[in-house]
A and B are shown apart, each in its own frame.
Chain A
Amino acid sequence: MKQDKVLLSVKRLSVNFFAEDAVLEAVQDVSFSIRKGQTFALVGESGCGKTTTALSIMQLLPAGQSKIVSGEIIFENQDLLKLSEKQMRRIRGNRITLISQEPMTSLNPVHKAGSQIAEAIRLHQNKNAKQAWADMVEMLRRVGIAEPEQTACAYPHQLSGGMQQRVMIAMAASCKPALLIADEPTTALDATIQVQILSLLDRLQKEIGMSILLVTHDLGVVYKRADVVAVMYASRIVEKAPKGQLFAEPFHPYTQGLMQSLPRLGVSVKRLQTILGAVPDPLHFPAGCKFHPRCPIGRKDRRCQTVEPELKEVQPGRSVACWYAPGCVTNNQIRNTKIN
Chain B
Amino acid sequence: MNKKTEEKNWKLSYSQMIWRRFTKSRLNLACLIFVLFLFLLAVFAPFIANDKPFVIRIDGKFYFPLLRNLQPSDYCIFLAAALTVWYLLRRTPNGGKLNIKNQISKLQCKIQKGMPDSRYSNFAFLYVILLFAFLFLIFVLIFVFVPRRLDAVDYKEMVASGKATDAIFAPVPYGYARTELASCRQPPSRRHWLGTDDVGADVLCRLIHGSRISLSVGFVAVGISVCLGVLVGAILGYFGGWIDFVGMRFVEIMMAVPVFFLIITITAFFPRSFLNIMIIIGVTGWTSNARFIRAEFFKLRRQDFVQAAVSLGLPLRSILFRHILPNAVTPVLVNATFGISSAIFIEAALSFLGFGVAPPTPSWGQILSLGVSTSGRFLWWLTLFPGLAIFFTVMAYNVIGEGLRDATDPRLSKAV
List residues of A whose CB falls within 8 A of some B CB: 58, 60, 62-64, 88-94, 97-98, 100, 102, 105-112, 114-115, 118-120, 123-124, 128-130, 132-134, 137, 149, 152-153, 168, 171
Contacts and interface: CB of A to CB of B under 8 A. Distances in A.
A182 B36 CA distance: 53
Most buried by A among B124, B303, B312, B326: B312
A123 B304 contact: no
Contact of B121 (A100, A114, A129, A168): A129
A108 B116 contact: no
B375 interface: no
Interface stretch (B229-237, B313-321, B403-411): B313-321
A92 B116 contact: no
Nearest to A123: B314
B308 A100 contact: yes
Contact of B312 (A97, A110, A130): A97
A80 to B, nearest CB: 13
Contacts of A58: 311
Contacts of B310: 60, 92
Interface in B276-306: 302-305
B265 interface: no
Contact of B311 (A93, A107, A109, A123): A93
Contact of B308 (A63, A107, A153): A107
Contacts of A100: 304, 307-308, 311
Nearest to A155: B13
A266 to B, nearest CB: 39
- The 7 closest A-B CB pairs, nearest first, are A93-B313, A93-B312, A92-B313, A129-B120, A105-B304, A98-B311, A110-B326
Interface string B194-205: 000000000000
Contacts of A149: 114, 116
Given A60-B310, A102-B304, A130 B116 contact: no
B120 A98 contact: no
Given A105-B303, A108-B323, 4 more contacts: A129-B119, A130-B115, A149-B116, A153-B117
B122 A124 contact: no
Contacts of A106: 304-305, 307-308
Contact of B115 (A91, A94, A124, A133): A133
A115 B119 contact: yes
B117 A92 contact: no
B240 interface: yes
A77 B119 CA distance: 38
Interface in B308-350: 308-315, 318, 322-323, 326-327
A190 B271 CA distance: 69
Contact of A171 (B122, B303, B312): B312
Given A93-B313, A119-B318, A120-B314, A98 B305 contact: no
A283 B280 CA distance: 54
B95 interface: no
A277 B114 CA distance: 57
A133 B312 contact: no
A60 B121 CA distance: 32
